[in-house]
A = this chain, B = another copy of it.
Amino acid sequence: MPLLDLTASAADITRAICDIPSVSGDEAALADAVVAALSEYDHLEIIRDGDTIVARTSLGRDRRVIIAGHLDTVPINNNLPSELREIDGESVIWGRGTVDMKAGVAVQLKLAVDLVAPMVDITWIWYDHEEVDSSLNGLGRLAGNQPDLMAGDFAILGEPTAGEIEGGCNGTLRAVVRTHGVRAHSARAWVGENAIHAAAPVLARLSEYRPKEVTVEGLAYREGLNAVRIGGGVAGNVIPDLCEVEVNYRYAPDKSPEQAVAHIRNVFAGFEIEIVDLSAGARPGLDAELAQEFLAATGARPKPKYGWTDVARFSALGVPAVNYGPGDPSLAHHDQERVPVAQIETVEAGLRAWLS
């Protein structure tokens, strides 16, 4: 098993955990390494649920903060092992997971072992399966198996925010839009019906769609509607009888999941639609007392979070939650994913200042 040295800098820990690949479903090696590294520290109680790890202080403080991050990444695309690069005079760590979200996890791991006596009790959570279907999400599984471990007064998720504080999140919906046809030999196409040709209006509606920007509690949420998968075809000489277009709708937190479904049914009116994934967004939640203290201590500027994040799970449990982590979220899942070393240090300093 690779050894993790949590006394190293957060930047070095970032590289070390990026170089243990952990594409969703394959987090065990990284989770093992994290548990092994943490087990040397007596001030933390460690609980493991699958590849989700909980580490808690029990100092009898009157408030408890949850600080969480996911261990998994989207698939690697020729962008590992990590590299330390100099771009426009700035040191960056390049590679899959640097932004989403191993730099954030590295800061958390370092502070978890450093902060022996924080001003609040802390529950650290590192979890699996964030980048895939929400039914597999490790935090969701933990909420079902051991909900007491997720109790607290405030939660911070280390998703990339470029060192700003991002409130709430967009909701997300995935749907499969299907067209049907009739198979026939492609030499006599006129006796069949081509299901791929029938999907032409689906792609036309997607390419013509103009996403909205919606203001919620003073923060402007940008929406999006995209095809994420398309498939169809039987053989090179057969008119295809089925075409499937999977779309992902990211919707502002002014809408309920039901309203999001209604919108998609409207956009693709006339087509067969199956909703395959649906998660509510979260309102910003920056009016909570600990959120206000946290904003003041870090001096960071509140912004909207575009991506769906697990703040919505805390929000649903009644725990106000924000996103705060290093990395430009525009580079999440990008082939050129990379995080400035300075941002890792800023986020580490911000959290340390507030928690000490």
Which A positions have Cβ atoms within 8 angstroms of B? Answer: 74-75, 77, 100, 131-133, 170, 172, 174, 182-192, 194, 196-200, 203-204, 206-207, 211, 222, 224, 226-241, 243, 245-246, 248, 250, 277, 306-308, 329-335
Contact = CB atoms under 8 A, between A and B. Distances in A.
Chain A binding surface SS class: mixed
Nearest to A194: B226
Given A187-B224, A189-B224, 11 more contacts: A132-B235, A132-B236, A183-B335, A184-B334, A185-B329, A188-B307, A190-B222, A190-B224, A204-B204, A227-B240, A233-B246
Given A200-B203, A203-B196, A237 B74 contact: yes
Nearest to A199: B203
Contact of A185 (B100, B190, B191, B237): B100
Contact of A236 (B192, B203, B207, B228): B228
Contact of A246 (B188, B192, B236): B236
12 contacts: A185-B333, A187-B224, A187-B306, A188-B330, A189-B226, A189-B250, A196-B226, A199-B230, A228-B235, A230-B231, A230-B243, A233-B246
Contacts of A334: 182-185, 191-192
- The residue in A132, A204, A333 that gathers the most chain B C-beta atoms within 10 A of its C-beta is A333
Contacts of A75: 234-235
A67 B246 CA distance: 48
Given A206-B200, A228-B238, A172 B184 contact: no
A183 B224 contact: no
A232 B234 contact: no
A239 B228 contact: yes
Contacts of A224: 186-190
A131 B187 CA distance: 12
B240 A228 contact: yes
Closest 4 CB pairs of A and B: A229-B233, A187-B307, A200-B203, A196-B227
A237 B333 contact: yes
A302 to B, nearest CB: 18
Given A228-B233, A237-B74, A332 B196 contact: no
A229 B343 CA distance: 45
B248 A131 contact: no
Contacts of A132: 235-236
A185 B332 contact: yes
